[in-house]
Amino acid sequence: MTAAAVRTRQQSVEPKAIPDALRAIWRDCCSAEPKSDVSRALIVNFIAVADGQRGRDLCAALDGMIARVPCRAFLVTLGEGTAPLRAAVSGAARLHGPVRDLVLEQIELQAPRAAADQLAGLVRPLLVNDLPTHLYWGGDWPEDGRVFDVFAALADHTIVDSGRFSAPVAQLDAVEQRRARGRLITDLTWMRLRPWRRGLAEALERFRWRPDVPTSVAIRCGEGGAAGALLFGRWLEQRLAAKVVLEQTDSCRGCPDAIELRHGGNSVSLSFAEPGQVEVGLTTADSCFLPFSVPASRGNEASLLAAAVDLA
């Protein structure tokens, strides 16, 4: 959250008292100064869902988002067991002298995973009318995909981070099935691969592509980069009809370690290089080009979420 902003106190409430607590945020944001005023600056509804261990991370990401994406936000934490549903409400306002812009109305909900239907039913009437709704599924893909669908039905646009998936092959297939049914889904891991796609595109511009010549690709990655490697490999298969092989390394990075593409007598190599660069090498049948580099993705969770909302 920016320095010129103020947070209201967090208030634990009964679920049925959430509307009254939201109205109280306006009073808490009021200044005692003469001629002070509060106006609402919200532009989206934002729903973030994750397990209990991710709750604090989501709060931090939301604080980083609201300068770009003022919102009414629902932070939904799903746990195990049968604990009763708990709710808390808070807000944040941006300061302009005596004038304050309300940039966040935050509703935190904690409940067992089995109460997903109840939580969705609680959130639905609290969404601000006429604002687009974005869902962020902020953790591993659920064992029961219906839990995801219950919340996705509330939103116009859904965001996932496949880098957090524990079984990316099957789980990316589950995401793709929902896209095929018309669901608009953005993957933060795919956004992190943008510099790799840019570097490859620049290299491919330097030689003539022949559709009749076979293309082979080797992608090396560690366990943390498996989802990104799968996404990149599937994209190359679709766009270039490439034969793609994944090679596992012991790297801890959340991105590929290296990508090598061969097309006839031409070869392109991309590799991660410190400090935060994607280095691109190109050799053709006629020439060997000097390597060049593009900056690797440096976006944190908050900036990527804000960009995903902007792009939707």
Beta strands in 52-203 (DSSP E): 71-79, 86-96, 99-112, 133-137, 157-160, 185-187
Whole-prediction pTM:
0.93
What mean pLDDT do residues 212-223 have? 96
Q: CB–CB of 42/126 below 8 Å? A: no
Domain boundaries, the chain: 5-188+301-311, 194-295
Residue 263 makes CB contacts below 8 A (sequence gap 6+) with: 207, 209, 210, 213, 214, 215
Contact assessment for residue 91 and residue 29, using Cβ atoms and an 8 Å cutoff: yes
% the chain with pLDDT above 70: 96
Q: Are the beta carbons of 75 and 107 closer than 8 angstroms?
A: yes
- Kindly provide the residue ranges of all beta strands, DSSP E only, lying in 8-132, ordered along the sequence: 11-13, 37-40, 44-51, 71-79, 86-96, 99-112
pLDDT(3) > 50: no
Average pLDDT over residues 119-138: 96
pLDDT in tens, 183-195: 999 999 999 999 9
Per-residue pLDDT band for 36 (boundaries 50, 70, 90) equals low
pLDDT tens per residue across span 232-289: 999 999 999 999 999 999 988 888 999 999 999 999 999 999 888 999 999 998 888 9
pLDDT given at position 121: 94
pLDDT band with cut points at 50, 70 and 90 for residue 31 = low
* Pairwise pLDDT comparison (65 vs 4), residue with the higher score: 65
For residues 58 and 94, give the distance between their C-alpha atoms in angstroms, rounded to a whole number. 20
